[in-house]
Structure 1
Amino acid sequence: MSQLSQQALQSLFENIKSWGKALGFQHVGVADVDLSIHEEKLQQWLDQGMHGEMQFMAEHGLKRARPAELLPGTLRVISVRMDYLPPDAGFAKTLKQPDLAYISRYALGRDYHKLMRNRLKKLGEQIQEAVKELDFRPFVDSAPVLEHALAEKAGIGWTGKHSLTLSREAGSWFFLGELFINLPLPVDTPQAEGCGSCSACITICPTQAIVAPYKVDARRCISYLTIELKGAIPEEFRPLIGNRIYGCDDCQLICPWNRYGQLTEEADFRARPALKDQPLLILFAWDEATFLKNTEGSAIRRIGFERWQRNIAVALGNAPYDEAIVTALKCAQATATPLVKEHIDWALVQQMAKHQQATVPIRLTQRLVRSIEKGLPRDA
């Protein structure tokens, strides 16, 4: 590759930021590729099995912390932020109504992977027009990349105690993407850590998945349990999932920095009416064709219809007793797969237990009234 002067590299560095923002990225930063300080903690996390069934995390091992091994010749990583918070998010309202389905806000719109990757590719091509010998490769959750560590080095934010990237300007309601390049660009200055003594995300986690600051046990995380886990959800976690049928936002909802969350400018990230604030019974009634139609172009489709039904069955079990829920669960038993049937059976037990709890006080009250009536004088 032809040698670029420091002045030319600085000019290109500034142009890349402008080009990236013109493509719809809210923040563009540049990091070097030295992530060696993360290797020991990454290996410990893997050794402790905290990645659960996510074998792709272990298959590449420490390659995640070594960008140049993923793409030989990589000297810098361009890290980008794209906000996704829809204007009509309505977080608290949905969580407080247990008969409605809560879907993580990042998944309510179009799948971000392809959109961001295409724009990163365009950014690479634009840089290539200025430097013909450029070699680049875009990544959006598509390879073993320590995206939060790179975002931190690129000045986009710091890694919060919930392990997500936090920004002073945007909280954490954003996606990250990376462009690996072979140019020795100047690098950005990391942001100072801003969590301080706050531990709200650790305290609020329904399943206590944040086992220590900056350390998440995926096996306990509702996002993992409802998205990544292919088999049965452990019974100890089912009641804690509540009405969350795809992902969980609790650690973000409680974070003080998210008061600065920025609304998305992307129409593709707007919530789809078929998915937002829908009654659990409506979603449970979908057949596979309806599921595929309503999740076309959505990240939700990746879990498949079986896990979709599994998750909703758990949420129905957690909902207040409703005869309509019991009827729907019983009707679904005949055609359910063994995995889904296991969760339907569990949900029915929960529903009937709530029904019994509700009727016992009524029966006791009726008995008490009869006893009082028997003891009253005839002319009372």
Structure 2
Amino acid sequence: MNVDELKKDIQAYAKTIGIDEIGFAAADIFTELKERLRRQQELNYQSGFEKGSIEERTEPKRLLPEAQSIISIAVAYPSRMDNTPRGTKGDRRGIFARASWGIDYHVALKERLDKLGEYIQERVPDAVVKSMVDTGELSDRAVAERAGVGFSGKNTSIITKEHGSFVYLGEMLTNIPFIPDSPIEDGCGDCTICLDACPTGALIQGGQLNAQRCIAFLTQTKDFLPEEFRNKIGNRLYGCDTCQQVCPWNRDKDAHFHEELEPDPELVKPRLRPMLHLSNREFKEKFGHMSGSWRGKKPIQRNVIIALGHYKEKTAEEDLVAVMKRDPRPVIRGTAAWSLGKIGTDTAREALAETLEKEDDEQVQFEIENALSVMKVK
């Protein structure tokens, strides 16, 4: 087996199956990442969504004992869409982050990695491969950085020279000893635009993120959202693109290479009020193919309610009162109370006071009382 020729053939084949960037790295321990993860853990900066122990996330051979190399892939996705619907007073809309446009990227990348793995095993029958996308133990970004796919920006995203940071990442462990590609030079320099633009100050310093303050993480939580973040979320229903939107490397980057990743404008910028009334089945049928649906309906509906409060949308008052009084989920009832407090009408005040007499959940009671107190200050 000529490994150099095989590598060139894999690079060529990757282009034919919709892989936009590919790089090769050694399956050595990610020593620097290990220290960074330990520090993140000490500072409680982790999201809680991470899979595996620090050792599993930084030692490839724990996942595939015979691993010699890691193949990193990147697939570019759109940053703009045509015919973007506009929300208006009385007809407000939310927004899903670009990473949730089109079909779930886990599916899109897994299909490509499966094809790549089959191709490799056809060429090398005794090849061993193990692929993962985002939900695996390995850090997609650390692998991509080592493999020269891109550099790690101060916004903690991998930034590729051709496509900016609007790329999905995945990787494949293999026992084939490929010659590694070289990492590319850091391209951020003294720029701090992303740090300055972060709505919650989640980017502590170049390359360090406090996930507990990151809107992209917060929109995926299922509990009550801390008060300090509610106004900052605005109309975001899933994810946050701010640190990518402001990045100079993303200027004029807008990849429309893959039909399955194209956004449906009515799904990625949906009307808010109808989303309050979706059943679980309706939610899955409408949004289930999108990565933004992975946590289910509850976080999205909570964020819908926050967005309506953010807009002080009086036309949603009746819907919010019904939710506050009848929804079985305390987080949804309590968030509706907060939103009604933001709207601040006499009708909202009366509904809050009436509901407080019957509500038996302590956290919901707190939210109602807080909403009423805010309205008194007004």
TM category (shorter chain) comes to: 0.7 to 0.9
Inter-partner Cα distance in structure 1 for 2:200 and 2:241: 13
* Contact 2:127-2:175 at 8 Å conserved across structures: yes
Give the superposition deviation at 1:297: 1.7
- Which residues of structure 1 form unaligned runs of 5+? 357-380
Q: Find the aligned partners of 2:45 and 2:273 in 1 and give their Cα distance.
A: 33
The answer to whether structure 1 residue 32 and structure 2 residue 26 are counterparts is yes
CA distance in 2, matches of 1:82, 1:304: 25
- Give the Å deviation of 1:187: 1.2
2:42 matches 1:50 = no
Any idea what SS the aligned residue of 1:236 has? helix
Q: Amino acid of the residue matched to residue 264 of structure 1?
A: H
1:3-40 deviation per Cα after TM superposition (whole angstroms, max 9, x unaligned): x4xxx111011111011111100111101123212211
Q: In 2, Cα distance between the equivalents of 1:172 and 1:322?
A: 34
**Amino acid aligned to 2:160:** S
Q: Give the letter aligned to residue 156 of structure 1.
A: V
Match of 1:365 in 2: none
Partner of 1:112: 105
What percentage of aligned pairs have identical amino acids?
30
Residues 98 and 184 of structure 1: is their aligned pair in 2 closer, same or farther, counting only changes over 3 Å? farther
Alpha-carbon distance in structure 2 between the residues aligned to 1:235 and 1:36: 38
Aligned counterpart, 1:325:
316
How far off its partner does 1:281 sit?
1.8
**Which of the pair has more CA radius of gyration?**
1
Letter of the 1:276 partner, please give it: V
**Aligned with 1:172 (options 149, 165, 171):** 165
Is 1:284 equivalent to 2:284 in the alignment? Answer: no
Moved more, 330-339 or 238-247: 330-339
The answer to whether the 8 A contact 1:98-1:243 is kept is no
Task: Give 1:279 shift.
Answer: 2.6
1:335 aligned partner? 326
Distance 2:274 2:238 in 1: 15
Does 2:293 correspond to 1:298? no
Count of residue pairs the alignment pairs up: 346
The separation in 2 between residues aligned to 1:131 and 1:115, in whole angstroms, is 25
Q: 1:211 to 1:77 in 2, by over 3 A?
A: same
Aligned to 1:63: 56
Q: Tell me which moved more, 279-288 or 30-39.
A: 279-288
Deviations 1:32-64 (A, max 9, x none): 12321221111111122111433x44x412221
The alpha-carbon deviation at position 89 of structure 1 amounts to 6.3
Does the Cα contact within 8 Å between 1:89 and 1:105 map onto a contact in 2?
no
CA deviation profile, 1:246-275 (whole Å, cap 9, x unmatched): 110000000010025241321111112431
Question: Residue 327 of structure 1 aligns to which amino acid in structure 2?
Answer: E
Q: Any idea what the Cα deviations from partners look like across 1:99-120, whole Å, max 9, x if unmatched?
A: 3201101212110112211221
Q: Which amino acid letter does the alignment assign opposite residue 272 of structure 1?
A: D
Q: Is the contact between residue 170 and residue 260 of structure 1 (CA under 8 Å) also seen in structure 2? A: no
Unaligned ranges ≥5, structure 2 = 349-378
Counterparts of residues 1-380 of structure 1 (less than 5 Å): 4=1, 8-34=2-28, 35-54=30-49, 56-57=50-51, 59-85=52-78, 87-88=80-81, 99-227=92-220, 229-319=221-311, 321-336=312-327, 337-352=329-344
Give the stretch that moved more between structures: 279-288 or 175-184: 279-288
Instruction: Find the aligned partners of 2:209 and 2:347 in 1 and give their Cα distance.
Output: 36
Distance change in 2, residues 1:105/1:96 (3 Å) = farther
Distance 2:45 2:116 in 1: 35
C-alpha contact 2:163 2:255 (8 A) present in aligned 1: no
Cross-structure match for 1:372: none
Structure 1 residues 164 and 340: CA distance shift in structure 2, 3 A: same
In 1, the alpha carbon distance for the partners of 2:181 and 2:242 equals 31
TM-score by length of 1: 0.85
Cα gap change, 1:168/1:93 in structure 2, threshold over 3 Å: closer, same or farther?
farther
RMSD of equivalent CA atoms: 2.4
- Secondary structure, in 3 states, of the residue corresponding to 1:275? helix
Question: In 2, Cα distance between the equivalents of 1:189 and 1:89?
Answer: 37
